[in-house]
Structure 1
Amino acid sequence: MLYVKAPAKINLTLDVLHKRSDNYHEVEMIMTTVDLADRIGLMGTASGIHIRSDDRFVPNDSRNLAYQAAELIKNTFGIKTGVIISLEKQIPVAAGLAGGSSDAAATLKGLNRLWQLNLSLDELAELGAKIGSDVSFCVYGGTALATGRGEIIEALPAPPHCWVILAKPTIGVSTAEVYGAFNPETADHPDTQAMIEALHAGDYEAMCDNLGNALESVTLGMHPEVQQIKDHMKKFGADAVLMSGSGPTVFGLVQQEARISRIYNGLRGFCSEVYAVRMIGEREILA
């Protein structure tokens, strides 16, 4: 069995500029990886693609992005053998943390090794763009500006070291519904350039000051529970708080380790899925 780590991502910024002629949205967002990860196991088999997961909410058929990644590699390179894909989930499902996209990216990287295709990260990211908007970023990992529909990736410096508290309420958020209700003319657009400058300067306070997500107000309007988590996280002492992706997960940045347990325990009082993790921020090297 070959194992690959699939880390979650958070959005330091997320801006939606307009709807494109291909029905995707033009986005501009800065993402970074955190130390909360699924573990993907890959084992060759005679034929077919078989998904095994320890999470009953994860589909085991072609709806699964890891399945789509394996199917894409098989069809693109004429692979005749099959694969068993084991998904050990740690990233919450449908949480705005790119769990499915990261699983797909890890599957692409793992099958590249398993089937000895010798593809570069750039080639894998190009394949990933055919699966979903976040997959290209997840192939590279680290910290990056993503533009286009999310598939154009420009590496950025890792953020200053800090802790990340993640809290996911027990609700599901439809990304399609959030984008459908989004109005670029009334949205609060983040200052992407200011965040880029903060990362280049290694300025933690500037990074906190420039967190922003244009989709946040839409999701907060639909799900007041998300606002409650934001409010509690701030009250318990997080330096800065933001919703990731289209939600519903909220994250808080904390530089003082002494504050972690207070925030974590406070949130656990009313939210079952809470995680305290470190920011990774660095690109992984392709093995």
Structure 2
Amino acid sequence: MDTIVLKARGKINLTLDVVGKRDNGYHDLRMIMQTINLYDTITVKKTKTPGIRINNNLAWLPKDDRNITYKAAEKFLKEANITSGVYIDIFKRIPVAAGLAGGSSDAAAVLVGLNKLFETHFSKKKLMEIGLEIGADVPFCILRGTVLAEGIGEVLTPLPSLPSMHILLAKPNISVSTASVYKALKVDEITKHPKTDEYVEAIKARNIQFITNNMDNVLEDVTIKMHPQIEQIKQDMLEYGALGSMMSGSGPTVFGIFPSRYKAAVAAEYFKNQCGLREVHVTSTFCKAKREGKRRERRKFKHEN
């Protein structure tokens, strides 16, 4: 096999809490992360010519070592002691700098793809260790699913998969610097924290009402002060029938959980046509258990036939 094509899925935060700040400037987090079905398409090819070449469908994205997928490939090849070259093609659908881990997911897909292409048989744990050197969200993007993330985001505890839920993403026509948001955050002034432990129990009990009613992100106060339109988008989603709405990550993307795909699509048209938002997507939660069940069924079918 010389070529592999992968789906690099985005994520949303159902909760995001900052519980402390380390001496090195990093923040300690407790958050529940959820993979969604909006994805970038990543094509990875072996090449006879040494080196890493990158192409993507957004002309303004870097194609050199400033690109996170370049860094992922570079670290993997070094770790595996591989001198062959690779070509990476990225077709972006996940909004960039949006709080949806698009870049981290692309890097994760490259690590997974190279592991298969070169048959290096690195474990998922090993890939996640390599990924952590690239970015705090990369290990989660390798693991995927519904996960409690702690530490700087690298201590991951898988949770039961959520039932499929209809998600609307609406990104204001702005970009937000994650570093600037965390720099402006005053940890000792946070007065309201997410009910993380109760939220974990609600996920285990499949209590959708609690899940949609108790989404909470302590970074919202910081980012909304910088960009008040985020709060307006949240309120508009609720008025259009969202069961719950929140900013993902450090923003600026707002997501809503809707009772039906139809209601999410109606709201999407409002944000596109009335609000002029360029990046609006209707998607759903990614059910890891269902996907793994289908894989087992395919393997069983092949074995029996």
TM-score, normalising length from structure 2?
Answer: 0.91
Considering only CA atoms, is the larger Rg found in Structure 1 or Structure 2?
2
In structure 2, give the amino acid aligned to 1:257.
R
In structure 1, give the amino acid aligned to 2:137.
D
Residues 1:105 and 2:111 are matched in the alignment: no
Give the Cα separation in 2 of the matches to 1:255 and 1:161: 11
1:131 corresponds to which residue? 134
Of the candidates 138, 150, 170, which is equivalent to residue 153 of structure 2? 150
2:303 corresponds to which residue? none
Deviations 1:138-180 (A, max 9, x none): 0011110111111111100112321000000110101011000
Structure 1 residue 58 displacement after superposition: 2.0
Give the Cα separation in 2 of the matches to 1:256 and 1:80: 50
What RMSD in Å do the two structures reach over aligned CA positions?
A: 1.5
Q: Which runs of 5+ in 1 are unaligned?
A: none
Structure (1/2) with the larger helix percentage: 2
Partner SS state of residue 189, structure 2: coil
Give the Cα separation in 1 of the matches to 2:151 and 2:215: 20
1:230 corresponds to which residue? 234
Deviations 1:67-113 (A, max 9, x none): 11100011112110110000010101000000000000000000001
Deviations 1:236-287 (A, max 9, x none): 1111000000000000001233422321112212112111111114266699
2:243 corresponds to which residue? 239
Of the candidates 229, 251, 264, which is equivalent to residue 255 of structure 2? 251
Give the Cα separation in 1 of the matches to 2:73 and 2:157: 26
Give the Cα separation in 2 of the matches to 1:83 and 1:141: 25
Check conservation: 2:12, 2:33, Cα contact below 8 A. Answer: yes
| Count of aligned pairs | 287
Residues 1:263 and 2:267 are matched in the alignment: yes
2:68 corresponds to which residue? 65
1:272 corresponds to which residue? 278
Partner SS state of residue 185, structure 1: helix
Of the candidates 114, 118, 136, which is equivalent to residue 117 of structure 2? 114
Residues 1:168 and 2:171 are matched in the alignment: yes
In structure 2, give the amino acid aligned to 1:190.
P
1:54 corresponds to which residue? 57
Aligned sequence identity (%): 43
2:34 corresponds to which residue? 32
Q: Which runs of 5+ in 2 are unaligned?
A: 300-305
1:282 corresponds to which residue? 288
